[in-house]
Amino acid sequence: MVLGISEDFTSDAVFDSQLKDIPSSGLYINSGTHPSITTQNLLDFLPKVELSFDEWDETETYKSFIDSRDRVNIVTKSNKIYQSIKSSNLNQDPETETDYWVETNMESLRLKIFLEKVKDKVYSDLSLTKRLVNNQYIYDNGKKHLTTLDNNYAAWVIEPKGSDYVSIKINEISIEKDGTTPVNVYVINQDRLLETITVAPDNGRLNFVNTDIVFNGKGTFKLAIDSTDMYVGNATVDPLSFDGFVAYTANGTGDAPETADYTYNTFGNGIGINVTAYLDATNYIEENLSELGNYVRATFEYMVFQLFLHNSNNRSNRSQRIQMDDQLLMGELKNTKLDTVVSRYHKELKRAKTAMSKTFDTQLNDHDGIQVKIGSV
């Protein structure tokens, strides 16, 4: 687990190994918070329902429960509850395959789901939920002429700005080549061929064909074709003119597109692309908890007090669980002038956004809205 719960001896619930292990972030989210936030109080206010889960089926492929948040990825075997912790989980016995399953219980699951909601709010507050950064067409314009592309391969090279939190989607590709015979397009990352698709040209015309190529991660990505006769213009590429990614053209020499030696350049090659860049910061919080840990904890504290005040799951005897009246709870959530839960939350939110501005690309750190641009080479 990225976040963990520290033992406070207020509850006799036995949490599963994920919650008891030292969290990968080193952050015990309930440590250093308001004294009313105990594991027993949390369990008393979180939903408590009797649920039944399906028996483990060796023919079923399970996904990670935390990623899918689908209860079908929680199973029972021999009257014990197991949570799938890895995708592509097929025919892995929950009783023995601890890389795929963790034995758990309802108390642990209720806490884990609440921690995921805390992370969701952090993503939302910091504008780290999936959002569009840029969408544009990139292609040769102006008068074009037929030319034979150099070397064995021609390619577009695309490098996300912020490799772990920017995803690139190639929506459409155009191949300006005579005839209609389909052309292989090789999708390459760091000398690995990820996939090969075919795109049919339209007798030399600029005609975009729908594709569904999505990539993110380390290194550069290439969309390469075998060098051939193509219609190209005289425009040049400014690799730094795109929001969310860097893009330029290349020619490669070698026996295979993924291992060819590529020379980068800035002129068109007859390949047109429609590119969408979007923020998808699924790893950002985990990788930057040294800067954001206090904000994550403050968000947790704030959400717990909301739970205490509103008692959203209609648990009885609140006064026996939390020795605070409504006015005190309201003050913790509304008074920003004193050292309250809400004031700490807003203070840490401001600090977190300041920390983000040091690491995100300028365009990616735009909290004011979506930027959409359409252009060409």
Buried residues in 81-99 as b, exposed as e (16+ CB within 10 A) = bbbbbbeebeebebeeeee
DSSP code for 53: -
Q: Which helix (H) or strand (E) holds 354?
A: helix 341-359
Rounded to an integer, what distance in angstroms lies between the CA atom of residue 24 and that of residue 257? 39
Pairing of strands 3-4, 27-28: parallel
Number of domains in the chain: 2
Q: Are residues 46 and 101 in the same domain?
A: yes
pLDDT at 368 over 80: no
pLDDT for residue 236: 85
Q: Which of 263, 279, 295 is the last residue of a domain?
A: 279
Contacts of 141 (CB under 8 A, 6+ apart): 233, 235, 376, 377
pLDDT for residue 293: 85
For the segment 103-132, the average pLDDT, to the nearest whole number, is 87
Contacts of 9 (CB under 8 A, 6+ apart): none
pLDDT for residue 133: 73
Q: Which helix (H) or strand (E) holds 173?
A: strand 166-175
Give the pLDDT band of residue 270 (cuts 50, 70, 90): very high
pLDDT for residue 371: 36
Does the residue 152 lie in any domain? yes
Q: What is the pLDDT of residues 44-83, one digit of tens each?
A: 899 887 889 999 999 999 999 998 999 999 999 999 999 9
pTM to 2 decimals?
A: 0.69
**pLDDT > 70 in the chain, percent:** 88
Give the pLDDT band of residue 2 (cuts 50, 70, 90): low
Domain that holds residue 122: 3-127+283-359
Give the pLDDT band of residue 325 (cuts 50, 70, 90): confident
pLDDT at 344 over 60: yes
Give the pLDDT band of residue 377 (cuts 50, 70, 90): very low
Q: Are residues 264 and 201 in the same domain?
A: yes
Does the residue 72 lie in any domain? yes
Q: Are residues 239 and 322 in the same domain?
A: no
pLDDT for residue 322: 67
Does the residue 295 lie in any domain? yes
pLDDT at 232 over 80: yes
Q: Are residues 309 and 342 in the same domain?
A: yes
Q: Are residues 266 and 313 in the same domain?
A: no
Give the pLDDT band of residue 207 (cuts 50, 70, 90): very high
Q: What is the pLDDT of residues 126-180, one digit of tens each?
A: 877 777 777 889 988 778 999 999 999 999 999 988 667 788 899 999 999 999 9
DSSP code for 182: -
Q: Are residues 98 and 139 in the same domain?
A: no
Q: Which of 245, 279, 313 is the last residue of a domain?
A: 279
pLDDT for residue 361: 54
Q: What is the pLDDT of residues 277-309, one digit of tens each?
A: 887 766 677 777 767 888 999 999 999 999 998
**Hunting for tokens 């939110």 — which residue is that?**
349
Q: Are residues 305 and 326 in the same domain?
A: yes
CATH assignment at residue 232? 2.60.120
Query: What's the Cα-to-Cα distance from 23 to each of 26, 28, 34, 39, 74, rounded to whole Å?
Result: 5, 7, 21, 17, 22
Q: For the chain, what is the mean pLDDT?
A: 87
Q: Which of 279, 308, 343 is the last residue of a domain?
A: 279
pLDDT at 369 over 60: no
pLDDT for residue 183: 97
Measured over the CA atoms of residue 12, residue 15, residue 17 and residue 19, the dihedral's sign is: negative
Does the residue 366 lie in any domain? no
Q: Are residues 41 and 90 in the same domain?
A: yes
pLDDT for residue 128: 73
pLDDT at 263 over 70: yes
pLDDT for residue 23: 77
Q: Are residues 225 and 254 in the same domain?
A: yes
Q: Are residues 247 and 314 in the same domain?
A: no
Give the pLDDT band of residue 373 (cuts 50, 70, 90): very low
Q: Are residues 209 and 89 in the same domain?
A: no
Q: Are residues 190 and 234 in the same domain?
A: yes
Does the residue 367 lie in any domain? no
Task: Indicate the range of 128-142, 201-215, 240-254 predicted with least confidence.
Answer: 128-142
| Range with the largest mean pLDDT of 14-28, 124-138, 171-185, 209-223 | 171-185
